[in-house]
Structure 1
């Protein structure tokens, strides 16, 4: 299946010069959505994975079904103030702004193997922050999986030593 056929590209969103890759058109097509999760599962299935962590919000729609298909748990990584129990937090820069991510302090036991999943790898800010959060809790990041990777932004460069799995590259 050519997954690029299911991705809508929106020029100049959210600001001029950005070519936004919209996955909502993939998500609304049941067979394509299922096939994309199955394809990601095939890319990462040889990894020993105890948990999948996904950053808010599109990491949830990739990470949770991937975790389900692999039979492992899912950890939501949220924006600051959104999780109800004790959290750890870290600031990070987006490609067009700044934010803070948080994870429950008891989400990972030391030594657990964690795959981070998201819809898109761009500059790597969100994912490298997610990696840092997992490592603060003693987790072993065994890889990062994405529907889309924007190669020209070199987000992979911020993930030195981490296996990166991408279904599509632009």
Structure 2
């Protein structure tokens, strides 16, 4: 039997998020989600919260089903497959350019420190499907906005963006098209 603490609320889970000043560079406050993965109770609470919010949102929005969960490279891959399984949806990764085989579509976007490019497999999402995008962090919103554009290029609709952590002061939600749920806010 484990002597690890039980985590029943997101506020409990938030206590595990690590804070590192000046990482990866000076002036940055890095929020580390990996301690959550060291506690099965905390991870279970977090995943159950994300699933519940997605189901509640779909019900309220009359979108009775989310068809696809898109996970953003790379930490969105930690949550996306489990969410997809629990939502009875397919999982599709969005990756940095050059990382996916087959025919892909790309979208270039500006970041705080230059440009970047994301891609998705061209046959991964079907026209008309309802999509949930998941990632670990919403900061300035550029990566998620690029993922929204990729989904739209495939003729699907992003119905919800989910994040484990949102850095509210960076106002990333202001540039996103779809509704947003963030489990933890700083």
C-alpha RMSD of matched pairs (Å): 1.1
Q: 2-side partners of 1:11 and 1:131: how far apart?
A: 31
Q: Secondary structure at the match of 1:92?
A: strand
Corresponding residue of 2:46: 36
Corresponding residue of 1:169: 185
Instruction: State the Cα deviation string for residues 82-103 of structure 1 (Å, max 9, x = none).
Output: 1111000111233444321100
Q: Where does structure 1 lack aligned partners over 5 or more consecutive residues? A: none
Instruction: State the Cα deviation string for residues 26-73 of structure 1 (Å, max 9, x = none).
Output: 122222112101001111103130000011100100211111111111
Q: Is 1:126 the counterpart of 2:143 in the alignment?
A: yes
Q: Is 1:110 the counterpart of 2:130 in the alignment?
A: no
Given candidates 152, 159, 162, the residue that maps to 2:169 is 152
Deviation at 1:156, TM superposition (A): 0.2
Q: TM-score, normalised by structure 2?
A: 0.87
Q: Is 1:59 the counterpart of 2:69 in the alignment?
A: no
Given candidates 137, 155, 163, the residue that maps to 2:154 is 137
Deviation at 1:125, TM superposition (A): 0.5
Q: Secondary structure at the match of 2:41?
A: helix
Larger radius of gyration: 2
Q: 2-side partners of 1:122 and 1:3: how far apart?
A: 20
Indicate the structure whose relative CO is greater, using CA pairs within 8 Å and at least 6 residues apart. 1
Runs (4+) of structure 1 exceeding 4 A deviation are none
Deviation at 1:3, TM superposition (A): 1.8
